[in-house]
Amino acid sequence: MTRQAAVESSSSWRLSDRLGLAFSWFLGLFFCVICAAVVIYLLVQGVRYLSPDLLWTNPKVGFTQNETGGFLAPLLGTLFVTSIAMALATPVGVGVAVWLSEYGRPRALARVVESTVEMFAGAPSIVLALFGLILFRASFLGFLTEKTGGVVYGKGFFPAGAMLSLLALPLVVTSVREGLQAVPNHVREASYALGKTRIATIRRVLLPAVRPDIITGSMIGAGHAIGDTAIIVFLLGDTYVLQGVGNVPVLGTLRGTGSTLTSYVFDNAPTGDLNQPNKAFAAALVLLVMVLVINVFVDIFGRKARELKWT
Amino acid sequence: MDLTLEPPPVRQLEAGATLTVRPGRGNASIHRLEGLAPETTFEHGGHHTVVPTLERMRVERLSIHYGQKQAVSSVSLPVRQGEVLGLIGPSGCGKTTLLRSLNRLTELTKSASISGRITLDGVDITGLEPTALRRRVTMVFQQPNPFPMSIFDNVAYVLREQARRKPRKPTLAPLVEEALSRAGLLEEVKDNLNHPALRLSGGQQQRLCIARALAANPEVLLLDEPCSALDPQSTKVIEDLIVKLREEVAVVIVTHNLQQAHRVADHVAFMYLGELVEYAPTRALFAAPREQRTKEYVGGAFG
């Protein structure tokens, strides 16, 4: 039913419409310029100070910016804490989305769940961080972090990852829910009509159908979690290097403290404790590139996934 | 098209003579068939082969309400293997609701209330597990809706346990290929069984859905306007397939398209506002409808 739009000139429009059009053009270009300014400035500054060895040396104590090492530990910290966050947020988010979309009864409970998810999406992360700080000092959660003489430290990769997962959760839920709503009802019925139960339908038809949405939702969520600072500063300990707890290789590191690129930028910014702007710009560039790569991936993947759908 | 009514040739059916009854099910039907009066079959429309018939399902005084609204009122119909039953009527006349009640899909609608009786091989279907019933009475929908998996897995889906991947491919391969070949799709896809089913063309997708529905080895196949989303070429392929399938399964087809009903159906039921107005052999219904409402609806269908 698509009709070829007639080519028309806006010069025949009313003045107010022409002004509106001009304003829209202006705003669109304005935001492009702002975005380009941020990226180009960071790129120029970052490339100037970023050298490969920064990526594989740990931060050190030093007097000049040449002596303070690189940001290997914050880079690893970002990867670890984001992985933990996504390992928690993805399954929980998919579960919540499936329940909301496929069951959603009683209605009142569904509405409560919906607003809870929305609340997480809108909550300032520092509020979540503060709550996490109290929560993970509880002694029954002591096994997640360092515990000395009955006192729980409450800071480490697990608490930070857990609170970050709450930031990512709404994005996973929204994406998967939209995916499920895009599956036409006759596809579900086709599965029931072959003698399948509802749970088999979800497991074998719906989840495969929304796999692209699960992946894009997690990626967008990860992009969100990577950028958060408040939770990291409060809950990860913000230590120079990865300080493990105990002797178990991976688990020990994750129970311990560390920092991420965001907290590294925060500390090294001209307003921070360490005030090493060169390092801050270099780390900020790495962070920006990570997020941009994720966005590009989401874009390409999302477009590809939409190709194979029902009419 | 020549629609003058000739005296229909009547053929005698020797009980059970050419019927193939799959083992393990429907044995009761054989006995009932032996006691059955010889079936009268009309030659009509596009196909002229006569297939012995066997009653698979019976709808008795079926009424369905959605809340206050009556969708089907006191309909009685036989569904026979060896023939295609066409359900026709204007939109909202209850034909799709009737079709969906045969495999208890109507129950998925919360507001639906059902009275009357439907039997499958003499057993009331409300006494059967819905999942078991739906493997014996399978369905193909208006929109082609292959699942987002490979062609092979689409057909294997119904053969596998609930939500399981078992049994594995080697066990299922012959069954999957048989279903695909019954749906006339095997030749086109046999080298690409691992390709995503959603890459197929619309017509192929719909035949895959038919293959999927046949893989369960059903007694009854329900088709809800299966060609309405397809081009004429694919429609022809599927219509030919339907006519062929009626030998192995009882086929019920809902269609908007009167020409299609005329081409594929052996008996046609005309529904109007939830009522079954007329049920008759296809040729008789189109050439000499008994009811005024039928006459008005089918009149002008064949200019």
A193-236 residue pLDDT tens? 999 999 999 999 999 999 989 999 999 999 999 999 999 999 99
Task: Report the percent of chain B where pLDDT is more than 90.
Answer: 57
| A185 part of contact set with chain B, CB < 8 Å | no
- CA–CA distance, A65 with A278 (Å, rounded to integer): 8
Neighbours of A62 (CB within 10 A): 11
Neighbours of B60 (CB within 10 A): 14
> H-type helices in chain A, by residue range?
15-49, 52-55, 72-98, 107-122, 125-135, 157-181, 185-192, 198-201, 207-209, 211-226, 230-235, 249-255, 261-268, 277-307
- CA–CA distance, A263 with B194 (Å, rounded to integer): 48
Q: Are B252 and B56 in contact (CB under 8 A)?
A: no
* pLDDT for residue A173: 96
Question: Mutate which of A98, A180, A204 to test chain B, going by most B C-beta atoms within 10 A?
Answer: A204
- Token digits for B116? 């009357």
> C-alpha distances in angstroms, B178 versus A57, A189, A193, B250?
63, 24, 20, 18
* pLDDT for residue A108: 94
Q: Which residues of B277-302 are buried (b: 16+ CB within 10 A; e: fewer)?
A: bbbbbbbbbbbebeeeebeebbeeee
CA-closest candidate to residue B282, choices B52, B90, B83 = B83
| Strand residue runs (E) in chain B | 54-66, 69-81, 84-88, 112-120, 123-124, 137-140, 220-224, 250-254, 267-272, 275-281
Residue A247 has pLDDT above 50, yes or no: yes
A123-150 mean pLDDT: 86
Q: What's at B58, amino acid-wise?
A: R
| B134 part of contact set with chain A, CB < 8 Å | yes
* pLDDT for residue A3: 57
- Residue B127's SS3 state is helix
Q: Are B138 and B213 in contact (CB under 8 A)?
A: yes
* pLDDT for residue B278: 93
Q: List the single range of A175-179, A272-276, B109-113, B170-174 with lowest mean pLDDT.
A: A272-276
Residue A272 has pLDDT above 70, yes or no: yes
Question: Mutate which of A102, A185, A194, A210 to test chain B, going by most B C-beta atoms within 10 A?
Answer: A194
Residue B19 has pLDDT above 60, yes or no: no
A97-113 mean pLDDT: 93
Name the helix (H) or strand (E) containing A151. strand A151-152
Which chain A residues contact residue B134 at CB under 8 A? 192-195
| B202 part of contact set with chain A, CB < 8 Å | yes
Q: What's at A241, amino acid-wise?
A: V
pLDDT band for position A302 (cuts 50, 70, 90): confident
Burial class (CB in 10 A: 0-12, 13-18, 19+), B131: middle
Does the distance separating the beta carbons of B143 and A186 come in below 8 Å? yes
Q: What's at A282, amino acid-wise?
A: A
B1 CA: distance to closest CA in chain A (Å): 33
- Token digits for A308? 């194979």
- Token digits for B50? 């006569």
Q: Are B90 and B54 in contact (CB under 8 A)?
A: no
Q: List the single range of A151-165, A230-244, A296-310, B268-282 with lowest mean pLDDT.
A: A296-310
Name the helix (H) or strand (E) containing A238. none
pLDDT band for position B22 (cuts 50, 70, 90): very low
Q: Characterize the bridge pairing of strands B112-120 and B84-88.
A: unpaired
Task: Report the percent of chain B where pLDDT is more than 70.
Answer: 82
> C-alpha distances in angstroms, B92 versus B259, B260, B275?
20, 19, 11
* pLDDT for residue A311: 67
Does the distance separating the beta carbons of A205 and B145 come in below 8 Å? no
Long-range contacts of A252-257 (CB under 8 A, 24+ apart): A253/A80, A253/A157, A254/A80, A254/A84, A254/A156, A254/A157, A254/A158, A255/A144, A255/A145, A255/A146, A255/A156, A255/A157, A255/A158, A256/A146, A256/A156, A256/A157, A257/A155, A257/A156, A257/A157
* pLDDT for residue B35: 36
pLDDT band for position A308 (cuts 50, 70, 90): confident
* pLDDT for residue A7: 64
Burial class (CB in 10 A: 0-12, 13-18, 19+), B78: middle
Which carries the bigger pLDDT value, residue A62 or residue B97?
A: B97
* pLDDT for residue A49: 86
- Percent composition of chain B: helix, strand, coil (DSSP 3-state, to 5): 35, 25, 40
Which chain A residues contact residue B143 at CB under 8 A? 184, 186, 310-311
- CA–CA distance, A225 with A82 (Å, rounded to integer): 6
| Paired strand residues for B280 | B268
Phi/psi of residue B41, each to 5°?
-125, 135
| B259 part of contact set with chain A, CB < 8 Å | no
Residue B276 has pLDDT above 50, yes or no: yes
Residue B56 exposure: Cα atoms within 13 Å on the Cβ side? 29
* pLDDT for residue A57: 83
Asked whether this complex has an ipTM greater than 0.85, the answer is no
B251-280 mean pLDDT: 93
pLDDT mean across residues, chain B: 82
* pLDDT for residue A69: 82
- CA–CA distance, B277 with B203 (Å, rounded to integer): 33
A187, A196, A309: residue with CB nearest B162: A196
A278-307 mean pLDDT: 86
pLDDT mean across residues, chain A: 88
* pLDDT for residue B40: 40
pLDDT band for position A188 (cuts 50, 70, 90): very high
B282 CA: distance to closest CA in chain A (Å): 28
Q: What is the pLDDT of residues A66-95, one digit of tens each?
A: 778 888 889 999 999 999 999 999 999 999
* pLDDT for residue B50: 67
> C-alpha distances in angstroms, A64 versus A44, A60, A279?
22, 11, 11
* pLDDT for residue A144: 83
Q: What is the pLDDT of residues A28-69, one digit of tens each?
A: 999 999 999 998 998 888 888 888 888 888 888 877 777 788
